[in-house]
Chains A and B, each alone.
Chain A
Amino acid sequence: MSVPILVIAAADDWPTDRVVAALGARGSEVFRMDTTDFPQQLALAGRIDEEHGWAGELSTDWRTVDLARVGAVYYRAPGPFGISEAMSGPEQQFAAAQARAGLGGVLSALECRWVNHPTAMARAEYKPVQLAAARASGLRIPPTLITNQAEAVRSFAEQVPGPLVSKPVASPIIVEEGLLKTVYTRKLSPSDLADLRGVDATAHLFQAWVEKAYEVRLTVVGERMLAAAVYAGSAAARVDWRSDYGALTYAVTDIPADVAAGVRRMMTRLGLRYGAADFVVDPQGRHWFLEVNPCGQWDWIQGATGLPIAEALADELEGIA
């Protein structure tokens, strides 16, 4: 008898729909929930004792799942808890903290396949952690500086042959003046480096520019490596391909065996079973690791290349090697 698969994602996370549909087509039992539904539309009754691990039920008006039977969890950016707005602010904070530790704690304790376990995902979100794991796994990484010191930037620029790029260490998005703005990766000119006021305002990331033949978006699902070459057709896209999607073309590609082995070691170090990794391939064919996003988008790559990513995720959740 198949075991239930728990899907924890925002209801409007449409890529997750594809995974749910793939699982449904196989006849798998799926219980999809969003943390936003807790505690008003999602009920939890979990128990543990000396005889048994966490057991009990998660239930909605539509279905119920036995926690003890859950065989796998797909965890992808669920929403904030749906705490009653009738509470005072302090009451809401208290209730949200209890929900995180209660529901989040019970779910986190489930011993089953995770794609990805939220604790591993939270840690792996940090770019410095990713770079350290990649380096320790034998992957090639560009020299990188993270600092709030202008003098350290000048020194780094002198030591690194060739240009530098800057990019946000965390989310690149800011909303100000009523507008959503974003900070793309920028290839720095000498004039950019001439005035470094504001570097001391927070942490900044600087990295050696790597000449690009093309880039690779490597979607890793369990042991599977689904690689797409990304070819940039504009100057902006050659620096940061997200800045000019219209100028991109894609093709299914392969990655060298030593890179694949390094990626598997890195994923193990990070405790991840899914990741969207970005590489630069230089004119000599060498692969340079830039980052791995444990919650990275994949649906448009599947649409552009036909890579069977949703099916791979369903396989991983079902424990099919």
Chain B
Amino acid sequence: MTTPIGPSHQAFPLTPPGGRYLHSNETPSGPDVRPWALRFATVPDSTGAVAVPACVYDQTQQVSLASDGGLLTCMANTHTPTVPDGDPDNPPPLDEGPKD
């Protein structure tokens, strides 16, 4: 298989320092400056938000375990997706959220 070569900073992609999304309390700029697509930015409906349970990483099994000793899922054992609720500390995992 031929592996395409990208720019060096992309050849080994990692989550950026500080997380995937930079926190900010800045307010939006005006319509002449702000990207047009952001007119439709919304705080997601938190109705179905699921709290992530406490867990510990087990170095022996190399997985995170819930308090009952079972595996977690990305949906916190509910099999429903994590719904972002506007809290910057509760971002959607990876591709959950609009098509990214």
Residues of A with Cβ closer than 8 Å to B?
7, 10-15, 17-18, 20-21, 24, 30, 32, 35, 61-62, 77-81, 96, 100-101, 104-105, 107-108, 117-123, 125, 166-168, 170-186, 195-199, 201-202, 204, 240, 242-246, 268, 271, 276, 278, 290-291, 293, 295-297, 299-300, 303-304
Give B57-94 as 1s and 0s: 1 = Cβ < 8 Å from A's Cβ atoms: 10111111000000111110001110111111011111
Going nearest first, the 4 A-B pairs with the smallest beta carbon separation are A104-B12, A303-B79, A198-B36, A17-B63
Question: A178-B88, A245-B81 are contacts. A123–B6 as well, Cβ < 8 Å?
Answer: yes
Q: How far is the CA of A300 from the CA of B74 in the complex (A)?
A: 8
Residue of A nearest to B59 (CB): A62
A-B contact pairs, 6 of them (CB 8 A): A24-B62, A96-B17, A177-B28, A182-B97, A198-B32, A198-B33
| Cβ-defined partner of B20 (8 Å) among A96, A108, A173, A201 | A173
Q: How far is the CA of A196 from the CA of B26 in the complex (A)?
A: 23
Residue of B nearest to A296 (CB): B95
Q: How far is the CA of A119 from the CA of B1 in the complex (A)?
A: 12
Most chain B beta-carbon neighbours within 10 Å: one of A183, A244, A276: A183
B26 and A177 contacting across the interface, CB-CB below 8 Å: yes
Contacts of A101 in B (CB 8 A): 8
The number of chain B residues touching the other chain, given as a range, is 35 or more
Contacts of B87 in A (CB 8 A): 180
Most chain B beta-carbon neighbours within 10 Å: one of A7, A168, A182, A195: A182
Contacts of B85 in A (CB 8 A): 180
B60 and A62 contacting across the interface, CB-CB below 8 Å: yes
| Cβ-defined partner of B38 (8 Å) among A174, A240, A299 | A174
Total number of A-B contacts with CB less than 8 angstroms? 241
Q: How far is the CA of A201 from the CA of B36 in the complex (A)?
A: 7
Contacts of A122 in B (CB 8 A): 6, 10-13
Instruction: Tell me the minimal C-beta distance from A123 to chain B in angstroms.
Output: 5
Contacts of A299 in B (CB 8 A): 73-75
Q: How far is the CA of A104 from the CA of B11 in the complex (A)?
A: 8
Instruction: Tell me the minimal C-beta distance from B32 to chain A in angstroms.
Output: 5
Residues of B with Cβ closer than 8 Å to A?
1-6, 8-18, 20-28, 31-45, 47-48, 55, 57, 59-64, 71-75, 79-81, 83-88, 90-100
Contacts of B36 in A (CB 8 A): 196-199, 201, 204
Q: How far is the CA of A303 from the CA of B34 in the complex (A)?
A: 39
B47 and A15 contacting across the interface, CB-CB below 8 Å: no
| Cβ-defined partner of B79 (8 Å) among A105, A108, A120, A300 | A300
Question: A172-B100, A180-B84, A242-B99 are contacts. A271–B1 as well, Cβ < 8 Å?
Answer: yes
Instruction: Tell me the minimal C-beta distance from A201 to chain B in angstroms.
Output: 4
A120 and B86 contacting across the interface, CB-CB below 8 Å: no
Residue of B nearest to A180 (CB): B88
| Cβ-defined partner of A198 (8 Å) among B4, B34, B47 | B34
Contacts of B10 in A (CB 8 A): 119, 122-123
Residue of B nearest to A291 (CB): B99
B4 and A120 contacting across the interface, CB-CB below 8 Å: yes
Contacts of B41 in A (CB 8 A): 174, 181-183
A170 and B99 contacting across the interface, CB-CB below 8 Å: no
Question: A107-B12, A278-B99 are contacts. A183–B64 as well, Cβ < 8 Å?
Answer: no
Most chain A beta-carbon neighbours within 10 Å: one of B11, B73, B75: B11
Contacts of B27 in A (CB 8 A): 176-177
Q: How far is the CA of A245 from the CA of B85 in the complex (A)?
A: 13
Residue of B nearest to A200 (CB): B36
A21 and B57 contacting across the interface, CB-CB below 8 Å: no
Question: A180-B88, A181-B86 are contacts. A100–B12 as well, Cβ < 8 Å?
Answer: yes
Instruction: Tell me the minimal C-beta distance from B67 to chain A in angstroms.
Output: 15
